[in-house]
């Protein structure tokens, strides 16, 4: 007896069915690739932001602790804080930092003598001298032409015994600190990297028309920058005789009123570039205008912190 099978059971896929299946598969694959790409980009962005936040925290916390224990004394001609922005900003030939100040001041740092306080290593005293400086270099080998060069922030702490012998009581702090500048680049003084720019704003409490019925108080922000004007100054110093400025950055107060004022707070603001952004920056020509604005919006993160100075 012969058995017969239906011809429909032996029929294969038609060309149209194959094309439809391929089209559906392509759509599904495209959607999956798109979702995966978005997920990877989001993960990279979150990772870059997390690392940038850590970099910012290291810097801000370190500087904030030093400013919180800032040491100044009235009634003398000594210099207690020197803050200056060089006209030659750190960076490569392709891209320079937007703002960077060199800070030198006295502070009761808790990590003096490497934190070994009240031990035989502690030689007494609690007033240290600290300096911050932003440089463009490889954080490992110190080269400024390395393929891994970046904007690095360094902090140098001079212990109290050396501070007392060589730095306290100077009328000009920056020249007295020159002999220690070479130590700034030591690996142990490295704080963080990818700090494209940082600015320091001193909030000065000023008394207008003192001794009159119109006497009033106001707070004037004075920021350090590479160019003077628009609320910025290049050089800011605190002496035992008062605040030292070349000119008033605002028409609201006179230079004499500023010099007689007191610093009530310091605001630290910084821009951290992601690792991927630094790679791009090393290969780009000098970015200007809208191109730089778009680049920074995509590859950088902004942080700031206000530090009160009740001792001032």
Residue 95 lies in a domain: yes
Residue 246 lies in a domain: yes
Q: How far apart are CA 309 and CA 89, in angstroms?
A: 28
pLDDT exceeds cutoff 90 at 117:
no
Residue 91 lies in a domain: yes
The domain total for the chain is 1
Residue 13 lies in a domain: no
Residue 181 CB coordination number (10 Å): 13
pLDDT tens figures, 206-242: 888 777 767 788 888 999 988 877 778 899 999 999 9
Residue 18 lies in a domain: no
- The alpha-carbon radius of gyration of the chain (Å, integer) is 29
Residue 6 lies in a domain: no
Q: What would the two tokens of residue 103 be?
A: 């800070």
Q: Give the least confident one: 49-58, 137-146, 284-293.
A: 137-146
pLDDT tens figures, 151-172: 999 999 999 999 999 999 999 9
Residue 138 lies in a domain: yes
Confidence tier at 312 by pLDDT (50, 70, 90):
low
Q: Are 96 and 288 in contact (CB under 8 A)?
A: no
pLDDT exceeds cutoff 80 at 81:
yes
Confidence tier at 105 by pLDDT (50, 70, 90):
very high
For residue 45, the model assigns a pLDDT of 72
Helices (H), the chain: 15-68, 160-166, 173-177, 255-259, 275-283, 289-299
For residue 78, the model assigns a pLDDT of 94
For residue 141, the model assigns a pLDDT of 72
The percentage of residues in the chain with a pLDDT greater than 90, rounded to a whole number, is 27
For residue 174, the model assigns a pLDDT of 92
Domain with 122, as residue range(s), is 41-308
For residue 8, the model assigns a pLDDT of 53
Give the residue with greater pLDDT, 11 vs 282: 282
Considering the entire predicted model, what is its pTM?
Answer: 0.81
**Mean confidence (pLDDT) of the chain:** 84
Residue 30 lies in a domain: no
């Amino acid at each position: 007896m012969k058995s017969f099978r239906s011809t429909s059971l032996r029929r294969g896929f038609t060309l149209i069915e194959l094309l439809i299946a391929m089209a559906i598969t392509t759509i599904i694959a495209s959607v999956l690739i798109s979702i995966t790409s978005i997920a990877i980009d989001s993960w990279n962005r979150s990772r870059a932001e997390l690392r940038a936040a850590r970099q910012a925290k290291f810097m801000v916390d370190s500087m904030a602790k030093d400013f919180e224990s800032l040491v100044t004394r009235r009634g003398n001609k000594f210099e207690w804080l020197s803050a200056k922005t060089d006209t030659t900003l750190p960076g490569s030939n392709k891209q320079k930092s937007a703002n960077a100040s060199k800070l030198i001041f006295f502070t009761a740092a808790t990590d003096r003598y490497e934190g070994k306080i009240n031990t035989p290593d502690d030689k007494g005293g609690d007033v240290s001298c600290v300096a911050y400086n932003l440089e463009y270099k490889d954080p490992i080998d110190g080269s400024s032409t390395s393929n891994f060069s970046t904007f690095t922030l360094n902090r140098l702490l001079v212990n109290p015994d050396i501070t007392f012998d060589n730095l306290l009581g100077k009328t000009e702090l920056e020249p007295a600190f020159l002999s220690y500048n070479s130590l700034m680049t030591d690996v142990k003084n490295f704080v963080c990297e990818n700090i494209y720019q940082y600015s320091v704003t001193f909030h000065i409490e000023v008394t207008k028309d003192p001794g009159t019925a119109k006497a009033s108080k106001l707070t004037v922000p004075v920021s350090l920058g590479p160019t003077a004007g628009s609320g910025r100054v290049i050089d800011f110093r605190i002496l035992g005789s008062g605040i030292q400025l070349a000119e008033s950055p605002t028409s609201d107060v006179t230079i004499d009123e500023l010099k007689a004022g007191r610093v009530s707070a310091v605001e630290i603001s910084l821009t951290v570039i992601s690792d991927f952004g630094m790679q791009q920056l090393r290969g780009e020509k000098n970015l200007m205008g809208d191109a730089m604005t778009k680049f920074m919006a995509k590859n950088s993160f902004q942080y700031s912190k206000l530090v009160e100075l009740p001792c001032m």
